[in-house]
Chains A and B, each alone.
Chain A
Amino acid sequence: MTIETEPTRERLRPQILETEETGRLELRLPSAPETPFSSQRIPRRRSPVTIAATGLCILVVGLVGVELVEFIGSAFARGSALGTVATVAVGVGCAGAGYWLVAELRGLLRLRSAERLRRLIPSALSGEMKSEIDAAAVILARDPLLGEAVAQYRAVLEPHHTGRDALDLFSRFVLIPADRLAEAAISRAAAQAFAINAISPTVLLDTLLFAARAMCLIREIAEIYGQRPGLAGTVHLLRRLASGAGLVGAVDLVGGVLVQQLGGAVFERLSASAAESAYAAQKMARLGIIAMALCRPVEFQPGEGPSMRRLMSGLLKLGAKAPANVDRTSISGIRGE
């Protein structure tokens, strides 16, 4: 058997190549682009479940459509004025439903594209990384608080910067301010979880209020990272959170046992409920951290991730400062207010 190998190609020597191009190069700083970059979509095969769900949706839409047409037809049969009113009512209802559907789909798509970017960026080649980060910038630019940070990032990014440089700059100018906002939101939620636990008269009410606040926090964090999830997006987020929340649940179990033991032994006369409230705050903070990791378009680099210690110290500071001040202070380091 003969294996044909490609002949070794001679190493290219340095060369100067003449061109017909004239004039100086434009090396001025790039201005922030007016229109957002569009990210390329990778075509994917539809799964059988998606096809089936689409078919069912079409069936439902068809049934509802036929019903509505019959409804309008019967209204017209009773009189043209009644028919017009029915048509207008159906039209407005369809427009509202359509708007809701589009908003849901957009929220879901943003969430999905953020997740896709998080998967792609760590393995992207230098050239690809810049376009992936641009796509992440488009997502974050939708947050009114981060629009300026994204503009600053675009203003400092120059063509000679490598993908790694772009990631560093994106992290420094955009993600860190976003992280600070998310951390402030977590601190607020944790403080409220503490208060809820302390004042709620029943366990059921405590659980319901905690769940509602946790839901608000998750949506708030998603919005900070430019995602604005609707109902579908929130369900999707909760599904992704389930694995992370499982961890919180396990910690909760251990913590519960500890609180019980400590409550019985050490804090017997003091306040077992205070320890439980503190633990509820910590649980909320943990949930927030997991939500941050899920919603962030780029994974945390070493040393960037939020720490419980910082969040809890932030929680203590909240007692002295209004939450709104925390937002502005945390972002002013970059914006130079």
Chain B
Amino acid sequence: MRLLRFERLPTLTALVHDRTVRLAVTGLSQSGKTAFITSLVHNLLSAAGRSARLPFLQAAAERRILAARALAPGNDALPQFPLEKIVAALAADPPHWPPSTTDLRQVRLSLRFSPGGFLGRLNPLGRGAANSGELTIEILDYPGEWLLDLPLLSQSYREWSRTMFYLAQRGGRAPLARDWLDFLARHPANSVGDPQTAKLAHNLYRSFLAACRTREQLSLLQPGRFLNPGQIVDASVLWFCPLPLSVGGEARSGSLAALMEARFETYKRTIVQPFFSLLARDVDRQIVLVDVLRALNAGEEAFTDQRLALDIILAAFRLGRRSLLRWLFGARIDRVLFAATKADHVPALQRDHLEALMANLVEAPTLRAKAAHARVAATALASIRCTADSTDVIDGRKVDVVVGLPEGGERRIRFFPGIVPVKPPPPGFWGERFTEFPVFEPPRISPAPEDGIPHINLDKALNFLLQDALA
């Protein structure tokens, strides 16, 4: 009888500790989602052998991670995240960064761990293989531009058009939108809905969005699929753009406005809604990656635009502590981490500033999350660390810099990122834009998951996101 009870203990452990955590990695384009996912997976795979890369992840520090392996995607419709290809790129000579994500991909990882609590150390069966829990981590990778479409779900074509027109006529956008606006002036909204005209208007609008991104480094560029369409069966669903529409009223049947509105609604229904369902369904944890430094150096408009884009994206997610009631009504994200990426571009002393700036930037979403009883934190991290700290003298002043090898270069450069403010900067702060942000060569890593990938604070982020699941 006694033996039978012991035989059941591992099952009890499994019951308590086996679970799946779905991690939503949220970030605008170029925020470092692919690098984050690669580093996360590779470092966790390495943690079973050598925990030294993740000293702040409690389970790894206590050597409770017994084994880790990558799994095939759970959903057959989703392609697998090309981990091996990306790791091979980082292990090549010279190592190089993976290309930007152009479509949906999923990565699944299984961690076998020894529980640290009551069922771990006090279990009479000891710390053997039978007394272990299994954690499956599911992560979705997707082009960051697509996130910007989420707010469209709650907007009508008229509302969206008015917002886009308002933005297009101001700041750095105005000169770039001239061709598109001139075209629309010649083809009013109530003119005949010719598909060819709609396609031309769409092309001009898309060129405008692309120019906003490359020249002004702006973020709030909708619809996101115009910049990164992914695999769409019928491309004509994208052939629309905002039109100058008056408040109230309805588009005349057969007009250009009616054609655009119909395509907008189809786009929402067939493209945006399925993506959002996939992204937000059963998500437990969320990490929001933000390239604050690039926006900060790109000027006031780029910085404000990024903040606005973040605000409207985060409003689309439902946050809240896990509970039966909230589970029934769909709110499940109980931990949110806001992370300023590319922290290796600033020296150690300024990383605290970057973290504080990140926390201040997301003050409003943080309050919303806290009100919903979700746990929220902010950090500054570098998923793949490419630099080392050093000092230099600029204009007779000794300053902290970072040193690294620029991608494709032979000589190292020292980069002084300016003074990172701890709060969103006041108007007097902004000077000339700095857009030559250096791209450092990634460190050459071992393709086998042994030594992990150098990083900054990735382990702290993982500990915040997974600590309770690995307890």
Contact = CB atoms under 8 A, between A and B. Distances in A.
Interface in B399-416: 399, 401, 403-405, 410-416
Given A13-B432, A333-B62, A25 B438 contact: no
A301 interface: no
A335 B61 CA distance: 9
B121 A172 contact: no
Interface in A14-71: 14-25, 27-29
A14 B297 contact: yes
A173 B412 CA distance: 35
Given A19-B414, A126-B348, A160-B348, A25 B419 contact: no
Contact of B417 (A14, A165, A334): A14
Contact of A25 (B64, B352, B416, B443): B443
B443 A27 contact: yes
Given A22-B410, A24-B443, A173-B61, A29 B349 contact: no
B69 interface: no
A310 to B, nearest CB: 15
A318 interface: no
Contact of A333 (B116, B395, B416): B116
Contact of B403 (A14, A19, A336): A19
A159 interface: yes
Contact of A12 (B297, B395, B403, B410): B395
A157 B56 CA distance: 11
Interface in A301-337: 329, 333-336
B436 interface: yes
A21 B121 contact: no
A14 B456 contact: no
A162 B388 CA distance: 13
A128 interface: no
Given A25-B387, A160-B348, A13 B418 contact: yes
Nearest to A30: B52
Contacts of A156: 51-52, 55, 61
A268 interface: no
Interface string B367-408: 000000000000000000111110010110101010111000
A336 B62 contact: yes
Contacts of A160: 344, 348, 385, 388-389, 456
B392 A17 contact: yes
Nearest to A336: B63
A159 B388 contact: yes
A269 interface: no
Contacts of B413: 16-19
Interface in B414-464: 414-419, 431-432, 434, 436, 438, 441, 443-444, 451, 454, 456
Interface string A284-306: 00000000000000000000000
Given A27-B443, A126-B348, A11 B419 contact: yes
A108 to B, nearest CB: 34
Interface string B113-127: 000100001000000
Contacts of B52: 29, 152, 155-156
Nearest to B352: A162
B351 interface: yes
B401 to A, nearest CB: 7
Interface residues of A, number: 38
Nearest to A125: B349
Contacts of A27: 385-386, 388, 443, 454
B53 interface: yes
Contacts of A25: 386-388, 403-405, 412, 443
Interface string B37-61: 0000000000000011101100001
Contacts of B344: 160
Contacts of B63: 334-336
A165 B380 CA distance: 13
Contacts of A29: 52-53, 451
A20 B405 CA distance: 11
Contacts of B412: 19, 21-23, 25
Interface in A127-170: 152, 155-160, 162, 165, 168-169
A172 B61 contact: yes
A206 B318 CA distance: 66
A23 B416 contact: no
Contacts of B411: 18-22
Interface in B307-357: 344, 348-349, 351-352
Contact of A24 (B55, B401, B405, B456): B405
B405 A12 contact: no
Nearest to A163: B348
Contact of A16 (B405, B436, B456): B436
A61 B410 CA distance: 67
A23 B404 CA distance: 9
A17 B405 contact: no
A14 B432 CA distance: 10
Contacts of A15: 394, 415-416
Contacts of A22: 410-412
A15 B397 CA distance: 13
Nearest to B343: A160
B127 to A, nearest CB: 8
Contacts of A126: 348-349
A175 to B, nearest CB: 13
Contacts of B454: 27-28, 158
Contacts of A333: 62, 116, 121
B399 A12 contact: yes
A335 B116 CA distance: 13
B56 A14 contact: no
Q: Which of B55, B56, B349 has the most CB of A within 10 A?
A: B55
A11 B434 CA distance: 14
Interface string A174-211: 00000000000000000000000000000000000000
Interface of B: 51-53, 55-56, 61-64, 116, 121, 297, 344, 348-349, 351-352, 385-389, 392, 394-395, 397, 399, 401, 403-405, 410-419, 431-432, 434, 436, 438, 441, 443-444, 451, 454, 456
Given A25-B405, A156-B55, 4 more contacts: A16-B413, A16-B416, A160-B456, A334-B62
- 8 A-B pairs with the lowest CB-CB distances in the bound complex, closest first: A336-B63, A156-B55, A14-B418, A17-B414, A27-B454, A21-B412, A14-B434, A27-B443
13 contacts: A13-B431, A16-B413, A16-B415, A16-B438, A17-B414, A21-B403, A21-B411, A24-B405, A29-B451, A156-B61, A160-B344, A162-B351, A329-B121
Interface of A: 9, 11-25, 27-29, 126, 152, 155-160, 162, 165, 168-169, 172-173, 329, 333-336
